Structure 1
Amino acid sequence: MTAIHQIHTDMVASITALKRDPMGTVHTGTAETGAIAILNRNQPAFYCVTPELFEYFQELAENAELFALAEERKANGQFVAVNLDDL
């Protein structure tokens, strides 16, 4: 039985197309949404994303880590009184 995978972008290209014209395939595929899924035998093998989209994903991951840290510290209950005028 073949596994069915969800493709998380509107643009797709085959690995063959990528081999034939790597930069053209990536440039055309990422022009609209910033991402293209590269398929191998009609299954997603990997995604190519623009540097801007990759940076955005990195910021999201960093923000999620900071949020988790803040929630952990908040649950810990160790608060410090701060006057905004003193900052």
Structure 2
Amino acid sequence: MSTHPIFADTAVSISDLKKNPMVVIEQGKGFPVAVLKKNVPVFYAVPAAAYEALIDKLDDMELAQIVHEREGQPSRVITLDEL
């Protein structure tokens, strides 16, 4: 028997999700909800605000990586015409 980690505090069956998706999202209280099929997570229902925050965080991480890669490089002045 294999086990599957669930990365959410709330989990529901796919049948419950079909019955009333908005109630399922509300049960998560703003956090993702694991949707299970035969007790195995098949996907996560993520509220829009949480998804948007996740995307913002990923963008910030990518920008931070660019900053770290460019640290120590000489800077140069450019004009608006060069852009």
Q: In which range does the TM-score fall when normalised by the shorter chain?
A: 0.7 to 0.9
* TM-score normalised by structure 1 residue count: 0.75
Match of 1:30 among 22, 28, 31: 28
How far apart in 2 are the matches of 1:44 and 1:11?
11
* TM-score normalised by structure 2 residue count: 0.78
Question: Identity of counterpart residues, as a percentage?
Answer: 32
The residue that corresponds to 2:52 in the other structure is 55
How far apart in 1 are the matches of 2:35 and 2:68?
37
How far apart in 1 are the matches of 2:23 and 2:73?
55
- Cα drift, residue 23 of structure 1: 2.1
Tell whether the 8 Å contact from 2:9 to 2:28 is kept in structure 1 after alignment.
Answer: no
The residue that corresponds to 2:80 in the other structure is none
Name segments (4+ residues, structure 1) moved above 6 Å.
none
Structure 2: which 5+ residue stretches go unaligned? Answer: 78-83
How far apart in 2 are the matches of 1:5 and 1:16?
19
The residue that corresponds to 2:10 in the other structure is 11
Match of 1:72 among 69, 72, 80: 69
How far apart in 2 are the matches of 1:5 and 1:64?
28
Q: Alignment length, in residue pairs? A: 77
